[in-house]
Amino acid sequence: MQIAKRMDNVQRSYIREILKVTARPDIISFAGGLPHPDSFPVQGVAEAAAAVLAESGSEALQYSTTEGYLPLREWISARYARQGIEVSPDEILITTGSQQALDLVAKTTIDRGAPVVIERPGYLGAIQCFSFYGAQFRTVDLTPLGVDVEALRREAKGARLFYAVPSFQNPSGITYDEPTRREVAAIMAETGCMLVEDNPYGELRFMGTPVAPIRKWAESPSVLLGSFSKVVSPGLRIGWACAPAELMRHMVTAKQASDLHTPMFTQRLLHRFLVDNDVDEHIASIRKRYGAQRQCMMDAIRKHFPECVTVTEPEGGMFLWCGLPEGVTSEHLFHKAIERKVAFVPGCPFYVDGTDTGFRLNFSNASQDDIVEGIARLGACLTEELAR
Amino acid sequence: MQIAKRMDNVQRSYIREILKVTARPDIISFAGGLPHPDSFPVQGVAEAAAAVLAESGSEALQYSTTEGYLPLREWISARYARQGIEVSPDEILITTGSQQALDLVAKTTIDRGAPVVIERPGYLGAIQCFSFYGAQFRTVDLTPLGVDVEALRREAKGARLFYAVPSFQNPSGITYDEPTRREVAAIMAETGCMLVEDNPYGELRFMGTPVAPIRKWAESPSVLLGSFSKVVSPGLRIGWACAPAELMRHMVTAKQASDLHTPMFTQRLLHRFLVDNDVDEHIASIRKRYGAQRQCMMDAIRKHFPECVTVTEPEGGMFLWCGLPEGVTSEHLFHKAIERKVAFVPGCPFYVDGTDTGFRLNFSNASQDDIVEGIARLGACLTEELAR
């Protein structure tokens, strides 16, 4: 059996491997990127499923168009309009989670060896996905206000695309402020590098001032990705890509070859859920929950972590980032933490150069009791490691 | 904006473009590959959806493992065992339709320029999918008993894989007999070429003697693909790949990067449907329906088509193939047929060399009244074209 050479570039997802270790019920895990299960609108989904099957069962169970269910694309378009962003339903492709949107962008735009700019640290699912197509990574550091724009201006020249998660970034929790967003838009137009803006957490702001996607200020063609995974359910696997017409045409072709179309049943069910329920109220309850859990984690960190460990202060989303003092590696810390039955994701997979000076904590999935206990255990590990 | 060079190799799916023309309600279409909507077990799916959400809503709506829902993989494994085929659940990857299984096989095994053997005519979704990865196609003709084994022996040497649909092939409707299957298995072992056996229609035999997948006689590592699209519902988008451990490991990594996992809700719902219902009885009713529709189409063809048009006689599945006499092209015929409000898929997209000497008819989707009327119209077109 011969395996394609492209597999040499790709690591099996580190996080998914880690999740197997951390799924043990006796471990308090801050490792995964899971929404809190109590946030899933099970009853609303059940009602929507029953209604769709009763009213249009044959259509819901039949093959359908690659572009996706039009009323769902119209709903997304209307929601963007509320943020002052114009995206027509024709510019929206429904995908099997926003991970597939990322894969389709990569499949249609990245040639082997093409320079691709990513944030440092960056979303490991994007690193993995781009690696399949032979991307040559260039990285730009993050500051507390977003990407380092001077570095971006340098690295974007001649690059195929810049992949960014400007709101509540994964893994850092950092959010680009408005001046940084405007500057990024300008740099993209100036350099001809295409922005691929991933915004799965944008609706999950629990403090601070809302800011629109960079797309709002874009002066050149760009791609904007979205997802229902964090605001309704990841198990439905529904995301989307907004792309300019020329790229959309290619992405539709790529999606045809990838999986024909996203399940029609889940698309119709989701649309029905969105129109039959108060989505804003539902999202507000998720924000409230995650805001409280984030506060609980920050308080516990201040209490238990040594002062030399730096911590980001996210205003939304699901993650925060801890920076380690020199001499401590997060991978070593990870093994110590597992012994104490607490888990996180070490920094390494978020870097393309093997850097390992921090780690990611998720605050959306665990209960407040587990957050308090888990952070105390982690604090004890850190204290021990720093004493060595 | 820069588009990846691989897009130069790929045609937008011809069929999906054609389906847009043929979706007009006044056209009798034999073009698509759609199951009959009356065959969808809407009530059973509704009951399964309600049960899954009531009993395990949080799990059904959460992220899950890339490999797929274990009880569903166990169900598939047990069903293979009934055919004398041993596939452990660990060798099964649940995919977003079997089209994705095909894409993952291609992504993990095909390097640019790698020789890939396909049937002639062949499944256009495979041609499109392999084109993305730069496959160099080699073709082997089909005979009424299956692939031409002498040609296969020649072309398989040095090829990366042989993609085949041995039962009720798409587009021809041809089924490999048992001696041909055994011979194919031997040729694969002899040449080191990997068999990728696609079997979406295998359960849909309405006449003749059942024959197991080639996998049963395989002497070397091979891949077997399956789908619930034709026996339960295509709108759920659930298929699978059986692959040897080494390849499976890479395919799981590729699936992580492609869409993380197939929706957990639809996987659990499908499994619940399968265990709560008499699936064999359900499939028997589909077989009976398609058998009757196929007979209706064959009878109408004998009545209305000129004798020089050849026709395959499928014992199952959803398609038959008509061969045209020299001088008549199916693309020209297609336009004439559309004028008379009847549609089919011209031969061209099933060939990598532009051959256009036949066309595909689907008999699963139209009513018997429409089949009688549509074939009469098509017969009139053919008679007119041959008279020119």
For residue range B172-204, list pLDDT tens digits in order. 999 999 999 999 999 999 999 999 999 999 999
Which pair of structure tokens corresponds to residue B382? 């053919």
Last residue of a domain, one of B276, B304, B331: B276
Residue A97: inside a domain? yes
Residue A51: inside a domain? no
Indicate whether A349 and A215 sit together in one domain: no
Contact A109 B4 (CB under 8 A): yes
Q: What ipTM score was computed for the predicted complex, to two decimals? A: 0.95
Indicate whether A103 and A176 sit together in one domain: yes
Domain with B117 in it: 55-276
Q: State the smallest CA–CA distance between residue B142 and chain A in angstroms.
A: 24
For position B25, which CATH number holds?
3.90.1150.10
Contact B257 A99 (CB under 8 A): yes
Strands A194-198, B194-198: pairing is: unpaired
Indicate whether A266 and A303 sit together in one domain: no
Contacting residues of A for B115, CB less than 8 Å apart: none
Query: Could you read off the pLDDT of A111-146 as tens digits, one per residue?
Result: 999 999 999 999 999 999 999 999 999 999 999 999
Amino acid A22: pLDDT: 73
A138: left (phi over 0), alpha (psi -120 to 50) or beta: beta
Contact A263 B63 (CB under 8 A): no
Contacting residues of B for A100, CB less than 8 Å apart: 258-259
Contact A96 B263 (CB under 8 A): yes
Residue B49: inside a domain? no
Contact A234 B111 (CB under 8 A): no
Amino acid A16: pLDDT: 67
Mean pLDDT of A263-277: 98
Indicate whether A352 and A238 sit together in one domain: no
| Minimum-distance CB partner of A63 among B34, B247, B253 | B34
**H helix runs in chain A, sequence order:** 14-22, 42-60, 70-82, 97-109, 124-132, 149-156, 178-191, 245-259, 264-276, 279-304, 330-339, 368-387
Percent over 90 (pLDDT), chain A: 91
Query: Could you read off the pLDDT of A199-257 as tens digits, one per residue?
Result: 999 999 999 999 999 999 999 999 999 999 999 999 999 999 999 999 999 999 999 99
Contact B160 A2 (CB under 8 A): yes
- Helix (H/G/I), strand (E/B), else coil: B172: coil
Residue A19: inside a domain? yes
Angle, CA of A311, A312 and A318, to the nearest 5°:
115
Mean pLDDT of A60-76: 96
Contact B107 A34 (CB under 8 A): no
Contact B53 A49 (CB under 8 A): yes
Contacting residues of A for B195, CB less than 8 Å apart: none
Indicate whether B161 and B252 sit together in one domain: yes
Indicate whether B33 and B92 sit together in one domain: no
Number of domains in chain B: 2
Last residue of a domain, one of A261, A276, A291: A276
Q: State the smallest CA–CA distance between residue A129 and chain B in angstroms.
A: 5
Contacting residues of A for B3, CB less than 8 Å apart: 108-109, 246-247, 250
Please tell me the distance from the alpha carbon of residue A324 to that of residue A19, in angstroms, as a whole number: 22
Query: Could you read off the pLDDT of A316-363 as tens digits, one per residue?
Result: 999 999 999 988 899 999 999 999 999 999 999 999 998 998 999 999
Residue A46: inside a domain? no
Indicate whether B266 and B293 sit together in one domain: no
Residue A92: inside a domain? yes
Amino acid A104: pLDDT: 98
Indicate whether B148 and B266 sit together in one domain: yes
Contacting residues of B for A49, CB less than 8 Å apart: 46, 49-50, 53
Q: Does residue A378 register a pLDDT over 90?
A: yes
Q: State the smallest CA–CA distance between residue B261 and chain A in angstroms.
A: 8
Contact B111 A6 (CB under 8 A): yes
B237 burial (CB, 10 Å; 0-12 / 13-18 / 19+) is: buried
Contact B62 A45 (CB under 8 A): no
Indicate whether A256 and A309 sit together in one domain: no
Indicate whether A79 and A222 sit together in one domain: yes
| Minimum-distance CB partner of B57 among A40, A58, A131 | A40
Residue B50: inside a domain? no
Indicate whether A287 and A263 sit together in one domain: no
Contacting residues of B for A65, CB less than 8 Å apart: 16
Amino acid B16: pLDDT: 66
Contact A40 B62 (CB under 8 A): yes
Last residue of a domain, one of B261, B276, B291: B276
For position B84, which CATH number holds?
3.40.640.10
Mean pLDDT per 10-residue interval, chain B, length 388 residues:
88 69 86 95 98 97 95 98 96 97 98 97 95 96 98 98 98 98 98 98 97 97 98 97 96 95 97 98 98 98 97 98 93 93 94 93 98 98 91
Which pair of structure tokens corresponds to residue A296? 């609980």
Indicate whether B270 and B290 sit together in one domain: no
The packing angle between helices A330-339 and A368-387, to 10°, is 120
Residue A12: inside a domain? yes
Amino acid A175: pLDDT: 98
Contact A195/A161 with Cβ under 8 angstroms?
yes
Q: Does residue A285 register a pLDDT over 80?
A: yes
Contact A132 B254 (CB under 8 A): yes
Which pair of structure tokens corresponds to residue A146? 């977003």
Task: From residue A73, give the alpha-carbon distance in Å to each of A65, A238, A239.
Answer: 12, 11, 11
Contacting residues of A for B263, CB less than 8 Å apart: 96, 235-237, 263, 266
CA closest to A252 among chain B residues:
B12
Which of B177, B184, B169 shows the shortest CA–CA distance to B217? B184
Q: State the smallest CA–CA distance between residue B109 and chain A in angstroms.
A: 4
Query: Mean pLDDT for chain A?
Result: 95
